[in-house]
Structure 1
Amino acid sequence: MLPNKNIQKLVPYTPISHDVWNLKTYDDILKLDWNEAAINPSPQVFKRIYEFLNQGKLNWYPNTQNITLLKVLSLYTNQDSEDYIQIFPSSDAAHENIIDVFLEKDSKVCIIAPTYDNFRARANGVGVKTIYFNLEEDFNLNFDKLNDFLKHNKIDFLYICNPNNPTGICYDIEKMEQLIIGNSSTMFLVDEAYYEFSQKTVQNLVKFHKNLIITRTFSKAFALASFRIGYVISHVENIAYMNKLRNSKNISMLAQVAALGALEDIDYTKQFVKEVNTSREFFKKGVENLGLKTYGQSEANFILLKMKNMDEIFNYLKENKIFIRNYNHIIPEHCRITIGTMEQMKYLLDCLKEFYERKNICTF
């Protein structure tokens, strides 16, 4: 028996290889390819997990309605109550739920591109067609053209990542708000996976505007990528619709405990974010001095670079236990590099300088 026709013709989302897990040792690895945090989570996370493990309740199903965590998240996101929040086993899982709950097979779905591709793959995989609205050549977003595009094409649903992945560019929040308010018949899914680094959000709109869903994750600034936990911020009616299909048993108890621990030590995350934002600007200036092209002002924990000899550089860094994201197959001569601590970025910059000096390659 063959899979359904949607799967047969699907162009899958292709994650990069995770070769690092196949290494015999993880010593001295600089992993800058998946936009995870470059440090361990807060000590409060470890403390919470140890306490939970000592309770000996691993044989129980997870808490299916963790009111404590929801209330802490509602405070963190400045919502009136926990009714505007719901947790999911990753923001990817939230996107899957949103597609299943809000989209029909004939829905007109638009994606701002280039961007994170998993949403497109999931929508196409269940038979929902998608169209692209392309960014400008410098990867900025023309809001006037987008507004006309939404109205002319009668778009039902728009996916937009802000700050965008892989560019790191954060779109103008006032223009975003105007777009959402001015297109009430379009549902907006705003992926704010990198919110902590930009501190720019449209979360203030969800109480009065039902055409907005925001997704976030604990995988980036909170350093909990292995736990797979994210959450949604939206109007209470949208949350209620999502709860009809959401499997409440699918968020592991360890993930819930870790998320609560991270939120209890928000100063730890803020300090890490501050260091990332500082080291990002240091690294950006460093690669620009090498003659490499960057784009605008990244407000995420990564930057997009254009460089010649991309495959050769990728392999050279890999040989030195440095892993970056090669974008050659999507955006030729480009790579995306996660930003870590100042010490880590100085080391990477030194390696890049050494590569160009040894190969005597002109970067201009």
Structure 2
Amino acid sequence: MTDSSTAEKGSAEADGVRLLLCENPLPPIDEAIAAATNEVPHSNHYTEPYSNPLREVLADRLGVRPAQIHVNAGSELILRQLFDRFGQHVHLLTPTYPLFTEIAEQYTETRLQPETDFQFDLRQLDIPDETTLAVIVNPNNPNGGGFDMRPLPDLLETNPETRFLIDEAFVDFVDESVAHLVPEYDNLFVTQTLSKAHSLAGFRIGYAILPEPIADELNANNDAYPLTRPSQAAAIATIEHESKIRERIDRLQSWATQLADDLESLGVTTFPSETYFFLADFSPHDARDVAAQLRERNIVVKPLENDRLGPGYMRVTTSRPEDNERVVNALAEIL
């Protein structure tokens, strides 16, 4: 692949400091590791069809019916499924997750501006005519800021012919999921993942909360056994120990805040985030040059490479404090 979303993928580079992806620097919780390990000897057997045990746990957690949930091996597959069906005319709030601009047949956009810290009042969102799918990422990627979702019901009601996809990959950091609204609106889709706050990226567990006919269609046109037995077991164990995840979220947010403060002390502009990553503007330096010099020090980061914002922008994901200190020391030399 040569598209820009390849930069969102993992690589064989396991050593050094990795701030490139939105990977959680903390490993899975012990209960998830134990549950997955216990299932390995039983991997000669399939899971239950459509990961029904996990769907039931998720439904109870989200306040919806199991029949409204579709599980797949990572949320990217689900996003591609939904864009294949409804992505003829997409409206995006940009900058956004680069996959969306690649898989939409065509798209319009509402630009989020650095002058307002990439914040936006959804009451001001104007959905163009003929929009088949409007996408809101909450919190937004790449800047990590959350939206006030209270205007969503009005948007759903005033645009009944448009499906709204709310991508909640990082929703655990704002605790404002709109999944409970899905039973009330047949034009609302919500996607979530256990890759981020729950540290299960390598297990590939994504899911969507959908109107029941759409969930039925996705299930009917998908592998009936989308997860491995260890993946499903790790997912259920993690959800059953949600209190541990909440404590880890607090730690991640504090590490990201400290890292942003340290970059500000070096003259780098950072933007508010509610997650464990944030946008930084290294101007007048070119973020690609900064990234190249960091890579020479075995620190991997991702320049944003957004033409409208300029060459100084970089998305920075926190690592552990000792690794963050290494990054700050390296940037002090480079800048």
Shared fold per TM-score greater than 0.5: yes
Q: Give the unaligned 5+ runs of structure 1.
A: 1-9, 357-364
**What's the Cα RMSD here?**
2.4
Partner of 1:251: 227
Partner of 1:4: none
Instruction: Name the count of aligned residue pairs.
Output: 329
Correspondent of 1:98 among 73, 82, 103: 82
Whether the 8 Å CA contact 1:210–1:238 is kept in 2: the answer is no
Correspondent of 2:314 among 335, 339, 347: 335
Whether the 8 Å CA contact 2:10–2:21 is kept in 1: the answer is no
Partner of 2:48: 63
Q: Cα distance 1:266–1:285, how it changes in 2: closer, same or farther (>3 A)?
A: same
Post-superposition Cα deviations, 1:244-273, rounded to whole Å, max 9, x if no partner, equal 323223333332122122212222222211
Whether the 8 Å CA contact 1:74–1:85 is kept in 2: the answer is yes
> CA shift at 1:304, angstroms?
0.5
**Within the alignment, does 1:15 sit opposite 2:2 as a pair?**
no
- TM-score, normalization by structure 1: 0.82
> CA shift at 1:327, angstroms?
1.6
Correspondent of 1:87 among 71, 74, 83: 71
Whether the 8 Å CA contact 1:215–1:233 is kept in 2: the answer is yes
Whether the 8 Å CA contact 1:32–1:324 is kept in 2: the answer is yes
Partner of 2:94: 113
> CA shift at 1:316, angstroms?
2.5
Q: Cα distance 1:17–1:121, how it changes in 2: closer, same or farther (>3 A)?
A: closer
1:300 aligned counterpart, secondary structure: coil
Partner of 2:193: 217
Larger C-alpha radius of gyration, 1 or 2?
Answer: 1
**Within the alignment, does 1:51 sit opposite 2:38 as a pair?**
yes
1:278 aligned counterpart, secondary structure: helix
> CA shift at 1:154, angstroms?
3.5
Correspondent of 1:130 among 102, 107, 110: 107
Q: Give the unaligned 5+ runs of structure 2.
A: none
Mapping of residues 180-329 of structure 1, within 5 Å: 180-295=156-271, 297-307=272-282, 308-328=285-305
Aligned counterparts of 1:343 and 1:184: Cα–Cα separation in 2: 50
> CA shift at 1:88, angstroms?
1.0
- TM-score, normalization by structure 2: 0.89
Whether the 8 Å CA contact 1:11–1:121 is kept in 2: the answer is no
Aligned counterparts of 2:170 and 2:228: Cα–Cα separation in 1: 23
Whether the 8 Å CA contact 1:108–1:129 is kept in 2: the answer is yes
2:109 aligned counterpart, secondary structure: strand
Q: Cα distance 1:20–1:13, how it changes in 2: closer, same or farther (>3 A)?
A: closer
Aligned counterparts of 1:353 and 1:136: Cα–Cα separation in 2: 28
The percent of aligned pairs where both chains have the same amino acid is 24
> CA shift at 1:19, angstroms?
8.3
Post-superposition Cα deviations, 1:85-120, rounded to whole Å, max 9, x if no partner, equal 2211111101122123445xxx43222221112133
Aligned counterparts of 2:212 and 2:25: Cα–Cα separation in 1: 35
Post-superposition Cα deviations, 1:125-146, rounded to whole Å, max 9, x if no partner, equal xxx3222232234323353542
Correspondent of 1:156 among 132, 140, 144: 132
Post-superposition Cα deviations, 1:209-235, rounded to whole Å, max 9, x if no partner, equal 111101111111111111211011123
Give the AA of the match of 1:74: A
